[in-house]
Structure formats: C-alpha cells, structure tokens
Amino acid sequence: MTIMKTKFNIYITLALTILLGASCSDDFLEDKKNYGSYDDTFYQSQERTQAYVDNQYYEFFSAYKSPIATLVGSYTDTNSRLTEELGGTQDLINPNKTLINAADASGYYGVKIGTGILNHPYNRIRECNNLLEDIDIKGAILDKTFRDQAKGQMYYLRALQYFDLMRTYGGVPLVTTVQAAAADNPEIQLPRAKVSEVVEQIVKDFDMAASLLPRTWASAGSNYGRVTKGAALAQKARVLLTYASPLFNKNWDGSNDRWDAALKAGLAAEAQLTADGYGLVGSNAKQWEQMFLVDNAFCPEAITVQFCGPGNTAQTTNNSWEKAIRLQGQGGSGGGTPAPKEMIDLFPLADGRRPTAANGYNDFTFFVNRDPRFYRTFAFSGVRWAYKENTTAALWTYRWVDGASKIGFADGNSSASSTAFVRKMTNLTATNATNYQYSGTDIFEYRYAELLLNIAECYAALGQTGNTLAYLGRIRNRVGIPSANNYGIGTLADKYAAIEAVLYERRVELAYEGKRYWDVQRWMLYDNATLPGITGGTVSKLGLAPINGTQRTGNFLQYKNTAASEKTDPITAAARAAVVADPDATNFQAQLITLATFYNNNFVRTPLVTALDNFNGAAVKIKFNPNYYISGLNATALTQNTWLLQTIGWNDANGGSGTFNYQE
C-alpha cells in the first residue's frame, strides 16, 4: 500500500464530467448519485487514469498513521484498545454499558451516497467498480499491460474493503457494478449477502488481482508500496483463515474443508512471495528490530506497506506512532504507551518457555532472561532508548515520595503509569524537535511472519502438530531463540494445544501491529458466552482463560525509601549511569543482572492511584458481550435501506430483534 505524495482530486482537478441525478431519495444504496460517471475521453489519458488509481490508494489509506489502527478508510485504534495490549476502558468492554440498539452499532458502514464526496466504504467500492467497468471500453487505446495493472489494483482494493466490511458486519450487500441513480428501483435494493457469498466475491477479486498484478513493479522507487501478485495471494489466505475460524465457521472443529482451503491459499502465497524475493528478515532480534525501519525501499518482510514521510506539509502522511510511544523525559508530549502488566508477563523466557514462577520468572525484575523480542518491544527504567538529540539516552520512569507525601518524578516523567513502555517499531534516530510528530517511518501492514503464522494455524487446526511446530520454529529461530525442546514450545499434545501455541506466538511476534483484536474476535476469546443460534465455546476448548473479568493493570515503579524532597531525585546520575543496560551491548545479559540488583535495592512496585481500566475513576473489569463480535447495522443504514435485515443480538431501527445470522 502506498500514499501518493499528492492527493489527486478526481472531481475538481481534472474537471471530470459529473452527472448528478435529480432524485432525493433517502436510500443509502438505492440513491446512487452518478458523481462517479465520467465522459468517454477520461480513460483515454494514461496520466488521468494513473492519477485516478493513485487517488484510490489515498482514499483507502491516508488515515493509516499508526500500526495499531484498523479498518481501511477510517483507521482508528479502537479495536486494539479492546485487547490486552493497551489499557483504557472503551464502550465495547465497559461493564457499565450494554449496547444492543441500532443507534449504538458501528457507523463504519457509512451513509447514503449523495451529491457530496464522502470517503465511506461503498463510495470507495463504487470508484473501484467505475474503473473496472470502463477502462477496457473507454480506455481501449491505452496499453493493455497498463490497463491490466490498473484493474488488478482495483480488484485488490475492492476485495480489501469488502473484507473489512465482512469482519465488522458479517454479510453485507455486494455491489460490483456502478448503479444508476433512482428514487425507487427494486433492482438495486440489494439484500445482505451471506458471509459465504461475500467471501466468494472477495476471493474472486483477489484471484483476479493476482492474475493481473506484477510480481514486482518496474521503477521500484516511484511504485514503492503498490500491491503485487504476492500481496493479493497473501490477502486471500488471510480472508480464508478468517472464514475458517469459529466466528464464521460453526463446524470449525468437525470439518476440515475451510481449513484445507485456507492452508492451500497460504502455501500458494508463501511459494509466490518466496519466489519473488520475500522472506523473514534477519537472524537475531536486533535485525528484527531494524527491519521495521527499512524506509521507502524494498523490505523482504513487508508484503504490504504504508508509505509515510517526514515533514509538515499537506502532501505528507506522517507516522503518529513515534509520538505516541515517546515519554516526556525524552522530549515527548505525554506518558508514552504504557504496557499493561499482562503484556509484560506474556513474553516467553529466553529459551522459549512460558514465563512462570516454576520456570524461574520473577515479575518484579521482569526483564531478566526474556525472549530477545521482549527488549525490542518494551523499554523500562534503566534501559537504553536513544533519539537523535541524545544517542546514549536511557529511560527512567520511577517516582519518589518525601516526608510530606509529596511526589517527585524521574526525568519529569510525571505521566508514567507502568513499569514498562511500548518501544516496538521505534526509530532511535527520530528527532524530538516537535515531540516526534513528523515521523516518516513506514508501517508494515502485512508481514511475511504473519503469513507463516497463518499457515501454522491452519496446520494446527488440521491436527498436523509437526508442521505447526516447524513453522513456529522458523519464527523463533530468526530472533535467536535456541532450538532445544522445539524452541521452548515443547510437545503439542493435540490440535487444541497447537492452536493455542500459534495464538500465543501471534501475540508475541505481532504485538502492537493491529492484529490481536482480529484474533480475539475470530476465535471468540472474551468468554464462552454466545448468542442463540451461534456456536462458540472456544475458550474452554483451547484451554484459555477468558478475557472477560480481567483488567489491564498499570503500576508505579517507586523508590522504596522516603526521599528528602520531592524536588531532588534520591538516586544520583552517576548511580543510574553505572547500571544502564544497552540491548545492543555484547554483555547485555550481564547488564540486566546488574540492573535487577539495582531494582531490588532501590524500588518497589505500587498500584496506580487511578486504574488503567476505569470508568469515572472507579476500576472496572473487561466485559465484552457476545453480540459485539459482529456489529449490527446502525440506525442510519437501516432507515435509509429499510429492506436490510438487522444482525442477531442487535435491535433494528424500530426496536425489533435482529435476525441475520452470520454463521448461516
């Protein structure tokens, strides 16, 4: 994926012919204004057609500014904040709220298409349809390869949009032509298609895209980030994995058909991408970290990538992640991105085993003897975390209390609310001149590692535990985890243990990349509760603890003795400098042991005054209701399209119970 540096306004800049119907119907899908109809000469210009394609990339991806953001077009971090990765109560996990009415449902579906230009899902789909219908007829004079590649990109983008609609709503109307405006035309009053029909269309589109797109693009610099044949095949594999998962597949545990299809698609994508030069990057955790910083150039790990740029101009999309993760003491603007204790305690030990007390894990000196990826995912007091203005900077986020109960904060980090902070995908040469807000670091939306994990999951669901271990081993081997005992994974007793092992590895390898919510959703992991007519119970089958009833926990790292004054740090700069641990140092592990002793001698862990998960200041526990897995259509969509059925578990615009079952 790429953001072209200059947005091409297809409606104004090129003075396109816009045919506006006279109808004023309230129907969302019925009232199709012909703003997307162009005269017969439009597609006769390769320059105009290319700009049209580039504008579609802009409409789809211009809001994609953070790796934890999801849903094409809108790209917010709401879904990621529903998981264990980040604290802060959201409506869908707030036990004080029950959302069942259409007015409370997701608004992602959009509003009716009218005379204005809106960047909503069906607007984006319409623009894809327009080019697909017209380019071979009105643009027949254009080079065939150019036309095929333009169509391939539109098939890809249309499929991608339908996939996010499916993940949000289940079945949705399938519009694959440019519909003429009409106030009352039953032919365009399209019903919600079954999920199976939506998946069939998505797969068909990705197959068409793969047949038309190049394996790699010529003029790699100017075409950096455009989707490829391999990307289309990888997305197809992701779609079929989702379709095979329990949320949409009530027979996931009894029938292999969908898992077989997903595995076949995954292996085909792996073969194609490998042949095209893609693969896992590096052989240690440092190279794994540096992989995320490959900028505006081919990275073998990045199947799809969002192009970001530095600077403050209207033509540039910045990556907001660096600003979000940096703390005040580093020149940031807040408390960084605190890691809940549950995430700190998640990552394996250095030998790949789970971090349990029986395996020697100490949750106070949590940084000792951990998976190499831990130190590239999290930062903590006493560890090196550089930036342009200070290449030897270390993070310190402890606080102290004096005899008058006044509080001081190390390095001015008064907003710190955890003992560790997310640093994954950080740029150690980023400037704090403007609080890191103009980062140009690209975002990898789909990595080769995820594809391997998708394949591993299919093998697991099929009971092929040996193949599951082989693919998980590839993920762990490249970051330097020893191969003993299957890279610490041990023996997988059955397919349920294998699935759990894959989901665990996904939490570690893909942490803070916007993937966890989709895993929780498609495996229905909040608890075993289900709606009538929906099959669930996966939490128990996989031997997992439900997410519902848990909290994302924050803590203070506090100086253990009474300080002389809130204004004077009780720990000297020299004492701190003597124990700094540098992940790039050859004696890093020895440095961590020294730092652990320093922690034991100087600090205690204390609870936050206000919990990370709170409602009006009172601590709350996660409560995600089963109707939230698939959103209902919101009131606007239903009142503008009265023939559409509401989703089960949700009330329609008139208060009636929804009947659309996404598992049928």
Q: How confident is the model at residue 34 (pLDDT cuts 50, 70, 90)?
A: very low
Q: How confident is the model at residue 26 (pLDDT cuts 50, 70, 90)?
A: very low
What tens digit of pLDDT does each residue of 324-350 get? 999 999 999 899 999 999 999 999 999
What tens digit of pLDDT does each residue of 152-206 get? 999 999 999 999 999 999 999 999 999 876 657 888 889 999 999 999 999 999 9
What is the DSSP-derived secondary structure letter of residue 630?
A: S
CB 523 within 8 A of CB 247: yes
Q: How confident is the model at residue 603 (pLDDT cuts 50, 70, 90)?
A: very high
Backbone angles phi, psi at 627, to 5 degrees: -75, -10
Best CA proximity match to 191, nearest among 30, 32, 25, 33: 30
CB 218 within 8 A of CB 199: no
Residue 598 lies in a domain: yes
Backbone angles phi, psi at 631, to 5 degrees: -70, 150
N residues, the chain: 664
Residue 396 lies in a domain: yes
Percent of the chain topping pLDDT 90:
87
Q: Which residues lie across from 70 on neighbouring strands? A: 76
Residue 311 lies in a domain: no
CA distances for 477 relative to 57, 269, 301, 371, 448, angstroms: 35, 21, 15, 11, 15
Q: Give pLDDT, residue 30.
A: 30
Residue 563 lies in a domain: yes
pTM of the model: 0.94
Least trusted range by pLDDT, from 2-6, 262-266, 302-306, 568-572: 2-6
Q: Give pLDDT, residue 159.
A: 98
The torsion angle over the Cα atoms of residues 72, 77, 80 and 86, rounded to 10 degrees, is: 160
d(CA 237, CA 407): 53
Q: Give pLDDT, residue 219.
A: 85
Residue 240 lies in a domain: no
- Residue 392's Cβ-count burial label (10 Å; 0-12, 13-18, 19+) is exposed
Total count of domains within the chain:
1
Q: Give pLDDT, residue 182.
A: 67
Q: Which domain holds residue 600?
A: 321-439+555-607
Q: How confident is the model at residue 117 (pLDDT cuts 50, 70, 90)?
A: confident
Residue 43 lies in a domain: no
Residue tagged 């029950």 (tokens): 98
What tens digit of pLDDT does each residue of 255-297 get? 999 999 999 999 999 999 999 999 999 999 999 999 999 988 8
Residue 77 lies in a domain: no
Residue 417 lies in a domain: yes
Q: Does the structure show a pLDDT above 90 at 56? A: yes
Sign of CA dihedral 549, 550, 552, 557: positive
Tokens of 241: 């994995």
E strands present in 549-629: 555-559, 603-607, 614-615, 618-619
CA distances for 352 relative to 274, 347, 518, angstroms: 27, 9, 25
Q: Does the structure show a pLDDT above 60 at 25? A: no
Residue tagged 């809940």 (tokens): 340
